[in-house]
Amino acid sequence: MGLLIIDEKKCRKDGICARECPAAVINLSENSIPEILPDTEARCMDCGHCVAICPHDALRHARISAAGSPAIQPALVIDAARAEQFLRSRRSVRRYHAKPVEKEKIQRLIEVARYAPTAGNGQSVEWIVIGDGERLRRIRVLTVDFMRELVKNPQAVAAAPYLPATIAAWDAGNDSILRGAPTLVTAIAPASARLGLVDLTLALSYLDVFAQSMGLGTCWAGLVSGALENSAAVREAACIPENYTHYYSIMLGYPAVQYHRLPERKTPKITFVE
């Protein structure tokens, strides 16, 4: 059996799937039924475009679950105004309730985040979710230790002038590192994923915006991520495996704040070349 399973009663032989295939591996047989020939199977990225585009529900892909490929529900399509407000109302949350985030909710967030695009449909992003208070404390302390070393270098302070104040706030008893978030989510990708950082940043962005629809808040954990990049001790505390060279963390929790307006941002510089 080939990769494509065609319901010949439903197939209109219109070649839509073949035209859409980004890897150009779908061939139309003599009777115009789509197929992937054995010698090109390896080039198929399993991206699912063929399944998604067939308007007649005539095509299945052997490596893509049919049950996991539901039809798009018109009633759930959001218009541009709703989408714009949803995206614009996402904000970094820096005050959280102590309430832990339920595992099922985190799982749902990550299940949605996996639909972010990945280079070559590599889907190599993995996740480390830390809710253990003692481990989070160690990550914070080690991050501050790293920052204390960093600020000894005037060039580092010039590049990140907020560092001394962040350390001072920590020393004054404020969690300036993880803002009291009960959960730290780190997206990781192995060294073999050439564009792993791009892939995981996109996945985290999906998680970031989707979280607000579930009543959750997030904030990108740049200080921890900077420490992860430079300190093996922080990587160990954050459970990053040795051969994973791409990572970034985000705070997650129930927000103790609510926002009411959509402050404007800088006017974008756009160069249209026509």
Ligand X SMILES: Cc1cc2nc3c(=O)[nH]c(=O)nc-3n(C[C@H](O)[C@H](O)[C@H](O)COP(=O)(O)O)c2cc1C
| Residue numbers at the binding site for ligand X (CB under 6 A) | 91-92, 94, 219-223
Q: Is residue 90 within 8 Å of residue 208, measured between CB atoms?
A: yes
| 3 state SS of 151 | coil
Q: Which residues pair with 126 in a beta bridge?
A: 188
Between residues 44 and 223, which has the closer beta carbon with respect to ligand X? 223
Helix (H) or strand (E) holding 187: strand 183-189
Residue 219 CB, shortest distance to ligand X, in Å, is 5
Between residues 49 and 94, which has the closer beta carbon with respect to ligand X? 94
Start-to-end CA span in the chain (Å):
48
Residue 220 CB, shortest distance to ligand X, in Å, is 3
Between residues 94 and 135, which has the closer beta carbon with respect to ligand X? 94
Q: Is residue 224 within 8 Å of residue 246, measured between CB atoms?
A: no
Q: Closest residue (Cβ) to ligand X?
A: 222
Between residues 60 and 95, which has the closer beta carbon with respect to ligand X? 95
**Which residue do the tokens 């830390």 mark?**
130
Residue 125 CB, shortest distance to ligand X, in Å, is 16
Cα–Cα distance measured from residue 262 to residue 82, given in angstroms and rounded to the nearest whole number = 13
Residue 113 CB, shortest distance to ligand X, in Å, is 16
